[in-house]
Structure 1
Amino acid sequence: MGRKTKVALTLGAAGIAAWATSKAVAKPIPRKAKKALEFDQTVILAHRGGLLEAPENTRAAFSKSAALGVNGFAVDVRLTKDEEILVFHDEHADRTTDLVGKISEFTLDELKEANAGYNFEDENGDHSYRDKEEKVLSLKELLEEFPHMFISINLKDSPETYEGSLMPSKLWRLIEDLGAQDRVLVTSTFDEQTDRFNLYAQSRVATGAGEDEVKKAYTAFTSQFGHLYSPREDLFMIPEKLGIFPLNTEGFIKFLAQLNVPVYFNNVNERDSIVRLINAGAAGFITDRPTFAMEIVQENAGQ
Structure 2
Amino acid sequence: MKTANIGHRGAKGHLPENTLASFQKAIDLGANGIELDVHLSADGQVIVMHDETIDRTTDGKGAVKQQPLAVLKTHRIDFQFEIPTLSEVFDLVDRKVLVNIELKVFETAEPVVLLIEKYVLEKGWQYSDFLISSFDWLALEKVRALHAEIPLGVLTSTDLDLAIAFAKVINAETIHPYFHLLTDENVARMQTQNVKVYTWTVNEFEDLHRVTSLGVDGIITDFPDRL
TM-score (norm 2): 0.90
- Aligned mate of 1:139, from 86, 96, 109: 86
Amino acid at match of 2:199: F
Shift of 1:240: 2.3
Corresponding residue for 2:175?
A: 236
RMSD, aligned CA = 1.9
Q: Which runs of 4+ in 1 moved over 4 A?
A: none
- Compared with structure 1, are the counterparts of its residues 214 and 109 closer, same or farther at alpha carbon in structure 2 (3 Å cutoff)? farther
Q: Secondary structure at the match of 1:76?
A: strand
Shift of 1:210: 3.9
Percent of aligned positions with the same letter in both sequences?
28
- Compared with structure 1, are the counterparts of its residues 96 and 217 closer, same or farther at alpha carbon in structure 2 (3 Å cutoff)? closer
Structure 2 CA distance, aligned partners of 1:235 and 1:185? 9
- Aligned mate of 1:186, from 111, 128, 132: 132
Structure 1 CA distance, aligned partners of 2:196 and 2:152? 12
Corresponding residue for 1:68?
A: 29
- Aligned mate of 2:194, from 226, 243, 260: 260
> Larger C-alpha radius of gyration, 1 or 2?
1
Q: 1:81-160 counterparts in 2 under 5 A?
A: 81-117=42-78, 130=79, 133-147=80-94, 148-157=96-105, 159=106
Corresponding residue for 2:154?
A: 209
Corresponding residue for 1:44?
A: 5
Corresponding residue for 1:15?
A: none
In terms of fraction of residues, the more strand-rich structure is 2
Shift of 1:96: 0.5
Structure 1 CA distance, aligned partners of 2:16 and 2:57? 8
2:30–2:224: 8 Å Cα contact kept in structure 1?
no
Question: Which digits, 9 at most, give the CA deviation of each residue in 1:229-272, with x for residues without a partner?
Answer: 9464210111023xxxxx21011000111112111110100111
Shift of 1:170: 1.2
Corresponding residue for 1:197?
A: 143
- Compared with structure 1, are the counterparts of its residues 207 and 81 closer, same or farther at alpha carbon in structure 2 (3 Å cutoff)? same
Structure 2 CA distance, aligned partners of 1:198 and 1:217? 16
2:7–2:31: 8 Å Cα contact kept in structure 1?
yes
Amino acid at match of 2:115: L
Q: Return 5+ residue gaps in structure 1 as ranges.
A: 1-39, 118-129, 221-228, 242-246, 295-303
Question: Which digits, 9 at most, give the CA deviation of each residue in 1:188-224, with x for residues without a partner?
Answer: 101100000111112x111011449834256x8xxxx
Q: Secondary structure at the match of 2:52?
A: coil
TM-score (norm 1): 0.68
1:217–1:231: 8 Å Cα contact kept in structure 2?
no
- Compared with structure 1, are the counterparts of its residues 99 and 230 closer, same or farther at alpha carbon in structure 2 (3 Å cutoff)? closer
